[in-house]
Structure 1
């Protein structure tokens, strides 16, 4: 199962690489779209932060999703983001044969303070992948509002969406 999850994540991350290699830097950094005025770059950075929290907390068995680094270079430089994605993909692939027969302690803020719950490695990685897809959908809205037409099949759509509604951006 872990191999399939990591393969799915890498497929999802490859879509982000395709996007980053297609759009221009001014589109990547544009913060003109309301109501949140966030850039595509900030959503990519946020998505990668989630994965980095998982990676950084594995050795201590203390994954803190609120301890994001928020590296602004990822949010403002497409090539830095692409390089981070490639590095992340290599790291994830190294987990395929790692023993995961234990629970991981994952901390997040659910809106009323921090709470720690137990996950398996597979479940937190699946959560991170769904989180990325959610932000890809927001990126799709930003691109639409900026009148930037890019076709990346399935980008921003949950795979369970009906196929006739899952065109991508």
Structure 2
């Protein structure tokens, strides 16, 4: 059910990206502190990519996101990344260790792949809701209820 929900959420994002030009994708939205749809999309996708990159080693650090500018400026590239993320989702749960540096001290907390998938799904839904706010500034765009 979790993987199905993630696929559904990412498919909704693809449908949205199918409707937006690269110009609108990179247009600042005042209601979102001048963030863009592309910036929110990049955040969603890079969180999933971090999780995928940490799966084999079992060590995950979301601070090591790539910061790929192409994801936030080109809708076609972002859609390609979504397809790759969907294909890379694993069905087998396993123990992961979430790393974080807080106040100069490194900590490591035990988690699991499914727990982090759920976190990424919830995080993605939050950012997709923010994207919906940005979409409201454009006419003739259909957005599913998030």
TM-score (norm 2): 0.90
User: What is the alpha-carbon root mean square deviation over aligned residues?
Assistant: 1.9
Structure 2's unaligned 5+ residue stretches are none
Matched positions, count: 145
Q: Is the 8 A contact 1:143 1:149 kept in 2?
A: no
1:37 corresponds, among 29, 34, 37, to: 34
Structure 2 distance, partners of 1:137, 1:108, is: 27
Structure 1's unaligned 5+ residue stretches are 156-169
Please show how residues 16-95 of structure 1 align to structure 2 within 5 Å: 16-34=13-31, 36-92=33-89, 95=90
Structure 2 distance, partners of 1:107, 1:149, is: 43
Q: Which residue of 2 aligns with 1:131?
A: 123
Q: Which runs of 4+ in 1 moved over 6 A?
A: none
Note the C-alpha offset of 1:149.
4.8
Distance 1:35 1:137, change over 3 A: closer
Q: Is the 8 A contact 2:132 2:143 kept in 1?
A: no
Note the C-alpha offset of 1:103.
2.0
TM-score (norm 1): 0.78
Of structures 1 and 2, the one with the larger relative CO (CA 8 A, separation 6+) is 2
